């Protein structure tokens, strides 16, 4: 017997609840068209398909996607700025770009239809996270070349809620406006949300006592322990939002209020998980690198884009009634994984251990250096309350021991005083890699 599902709060119930067979059929048709358009309009794809001896007509079933080439971030850089666009530049109404620490930025472009699709997917995502028409949404994602600010902005408007286009920074002012405008929803990176609530507490303001109800947090990895912290201190139900600019921006996948994985919108994207070593597709449920193909994008179709993000997919039914596949929480990027004396560590694993530790504040930084031929990890964490040197030494010893037993990695731990570590204004910088600086 299937439980009765309330779909009155879905933004697009017909498509969100479509049975999986129909969804796959829809995907197949759209994928075929996307491959045809990419082959006909983008020289890079034509070359890449030809090199693999494959043509759009070879797609006879969804599984045939494995015969087509991957796309990687350097393909965008190599075709800078507009080389991967499938329409003349004049047909684009918006550009975004990611800065990148080295080399050229990656540029992404949207037609008017792409912006409409993105707004719809964002509205759907916000509704799934519990945002309703009429809500007051404080948007602290950065506006500008980053897709976060404008992506949320258009989605909130499309849903019929009110958006405050705050962007990042000016934290004290943000707190005043959250209060004055009676924000019911906070949209921010989890690390900035934490910065906000901490500053509010220092100002003697209890945001949890106000009307805030929903948190839509994403754009960086965060742990369940961080979620519990944000739920409690902000008085929200925090949901995880996933996306990336190369594919669209935020709104690729969202946690519904069941919070057991993020629904990836399969009418707009084809999701695969591949083994990062062999590049072979993995069966549902196995962990690997997430690979995404866009199904309806006009300006910048992406074929098998390697996200570098590590996750698992599940198609088990969700109690919310949405049929779209769930992407389990992204614990980190391939590129962010540290290998410390042979042990693989994601910063988010260290975060889980630190945040569960009594007396430790949820701010941390990892410093990786080279000592002789060995990589050395230093974990810097802060205490909640000021403590003397002896007490910090003792705490450092306990934390080190705990990290070793939980994750299996040996590290040095430095306990800092409250406020000593840098606070996030957007995406938090968790790792300082001194090896790259030649130190």
Q: Kindly list the residues in this chain that would bind ligand DLL in the complex (CB under 6 A).
A: 98, 141, 147-148, 218-221, 240-245, 249-250, 307, 309, 330, 333
User: Which residue, 56 or 155, is less far from ligand DLL as judged by CB?
Assistant: 155
User: Which residue, 174 or 399, is less far from ligand DLL as judged by CB?
Assistant: 174
User: Which residue, 227 or 392, is less far from ligand DLL as judged by CB?
Assistant: 227
Helices (H), 42-107: 43-52, 73-78
Report the distance separating Cα 218 and Cα 403, nearest Å. Answer: 25
Minimum CB–partner distance for residue 341 and ligand DLL (Å): 25
Minimum CB–partner distance for residue 100 and ligand DLL (Å): 10
Minimum CB–partner distance for residue 149 and ligand DLL (Å): 8
Report the distance separating Cα 187 and Cα 214, nearest Å. Answer: 9
Minimum CB–partner distance for residue 217 and ligand DLL (Å): 7
User: Which residue, 39 or 141, is less far from ligand DLL as judged by CB?
Assistant: 141
User: Which residue, 235 or 250, is less far from ligand DLL as judged by CB?
Assistant: 250
Q: Are 427 and 250 spatial neighbours (Cβ–Cβ below 8 Å)?
A: no
- Sort 113 into a burial class: Cβ within 10 Å, 0-12 / 13-18 / 19+: middle
Report the distance separating Cα 281 and Cα 206, nearest Å. Answer: 48
Minimum CB–partner distance for residue 31 and ligand DLL (Å): 21
Query: Strand 106-111 and strand 269-274: pairing?
Result: unpaired
User: Which residue, 328 or 367, is less far from ligand DLL as judged by CB?
Assistant: 328
* Percent composition of the chain: helix, strand, coil (DSSP 3-state, to 5): 35, 25, 40
Helices (H), 5-111: 13-16, 20-41, 43-52, 73-78
Minimum CB–partner distance for residue 98 and ligand DLL (Å): 5
Q: Coil, strand or helix: which one is 32?
A: helix
Q: Coil, strand or helix: which one is 148?
A: helix
Minimum CB–partner distance for residue 89 and ligand DLL (Å): 21
Nearest Cα neighbor of 254 from 210, 215, 288 is 215
Concatenate the DSSP letters of all residues of 59-128 into one string.
--SGGGGGGSPPB-HHHHHHTTTTTT-SS-GGGEEEEEEE--SSSSPEEEEEEHHHHHHHHHHHHHHHHH
H/E segment holding residue 244: strand 237-244
Q: Are 412 and 400 spatial neighbours (Cβ–Cβ below 8 Å)?
A: yes
User: Which residue, 56 or 109, is less far from ligand DLL as judged by CB?
Assistant: 109
User: Which residue, 121 or 318, is less far from ligand DLL as judged by CB?
Assistant: 121
State which residue has the least CB distance to ligand DLL.
218
Cβ atoms within 10 Å of 251's Cβ, excluding its own: 28
Nearest Cα neighbor of 300 from 71, 145, 48 is 71
User: Which residue, 109 or 249, is less far from ligand DLL as judged by CB?
Assistant: 249
Q: Are 374 and 341 spatial neighbours (Cβ–Cβ below 8 Å)?
A: yes
Minimum CB–partner distance for residue 124 and ligand DLL (Å): 14
- Beta pairing partners, 108: 96
Minimum CB–partner distance for residue 332 and ligand DLL (Å): 7
């Amino acid at each position: 017997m299937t439980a009765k599902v309330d779909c009155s709060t879905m933004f697009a119930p017909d498509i969100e609840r479509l049975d999986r067979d129909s969804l796959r059929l829809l995907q197949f048709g759209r994928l075929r068209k996307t491959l045809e358009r990419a082959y006909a309009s983008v020289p890079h794809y034509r070359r890449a398909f030809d090199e693999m001896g494959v043509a759009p007509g070879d797609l006879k079933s969804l599984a045939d996607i494995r015969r087509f080439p991957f796309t990687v971030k350097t393909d965008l850089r190599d075709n800078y700025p507009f080389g991967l666009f499938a329409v003349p530049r004049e047909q684009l109404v918006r550009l975004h770009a990611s800065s990148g620490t080295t080399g050229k930025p990656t540029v992404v472009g949207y037609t008017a239809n792409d912006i409409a699709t993105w707004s719809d997917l964002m509205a759907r995502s916000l509704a799934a996270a519990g945002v309703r028409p009429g809500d007051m949404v404080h948007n602290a994602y950065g506006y500008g070349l980053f897709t976060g600010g404008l992506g949320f902005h258009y989605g909130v408007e499309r849903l019929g809620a009110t958006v405050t286009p705050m962007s990042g920074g000016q934290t004290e002012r943000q707190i005043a406006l959250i209060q004055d405008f009676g924000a019911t929803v906070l949209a921010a990176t989890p690390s900035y949300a934490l910065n906000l609530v901490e500053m509010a507490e220092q100002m003697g303001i209890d945001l949890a006592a106000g009307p805030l109800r929903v948190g839509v947090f994403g754009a960086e990895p965060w742990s369940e322990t961080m979620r519990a912290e944000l739920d409690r201190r902000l008085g929200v139900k925090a949901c995880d939002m996933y996306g990336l600019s190369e594919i669209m921006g935020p709104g690729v996948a969202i946690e519904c209020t069941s919070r057991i994985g993020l629904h990836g919108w399969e009418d707009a994207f084809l999701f695969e998980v591949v083994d990062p070593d062999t590049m072979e597709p993995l069966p549902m449920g196995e962990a690997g690198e997430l690979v995404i193909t866009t199904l309806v994008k006009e300006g910048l179709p992406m074929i098998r884009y390697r996200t570098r993000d590590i996750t698992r997919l599940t198609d088990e039914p969700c109690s919310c009634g949405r049929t779209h596949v769930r992407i389990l929480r992204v614990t980190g990027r391939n590129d962010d994984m540290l290998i410390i004396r042979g042990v693989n560590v994601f910063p988010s694993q260290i975060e889980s251990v630190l945040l569960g530790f009594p007396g430790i504040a949820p701010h941390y930084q990892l410093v990786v250096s080279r000592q002789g031929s060995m990589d050395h990890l230093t974990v810097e964490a802060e205490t909640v309350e000021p403590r003397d040197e002896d007490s910090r030494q003792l705490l450092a010893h306990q934390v080190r021991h705990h990290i070793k037993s939980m994750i299996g990695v040996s590290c040095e731990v430095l306990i800092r005083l409250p406020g000593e570590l840098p606070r996030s204004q957007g995406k938090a910088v968790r790792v300082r890699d001194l090896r790259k600086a030649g130190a």
